């Protein structure tokens, strides 16, 4: 590997890194809530159906 490619790497700034991290964290939290709600509703429906 050539040494010149190591020096051409451009790392994101600290601000961009924090913004990206927060965006990903919000995205994961949002989908965790959505999946949790669906899981709760389907479990409730399944319990309702099996208790008949």
**Cα distance between residue 37 and residue 40, in whole Å:** 5
Q: What is the pTM of this model?
A: 0.69
Q: Where are the domains of the chain?
A: 15-50
46-52: Cβ within 8 A, 24+ apart: none
Question: Are the CB atoms for 20 and 12 separated by under 8 Å?
Answer: yes
Tens-place pLDDT, residues 9-45: 788 999 999 999 999 999 999 999 999 999 999 999 9
The pLDDT of residue 34 = 99
């Amino acid at each position: 590997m050539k040494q010149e490619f190591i020096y051409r790497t451009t790392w994101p700034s600290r601000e961009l890194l924090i913004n990206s991290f927060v965006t990903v964290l919000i995205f994961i939290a949002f989908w965790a809530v959505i999946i949790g709600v669906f899981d709760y509703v389907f479990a409730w429906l399944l319990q309702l159906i099996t208790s008949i």
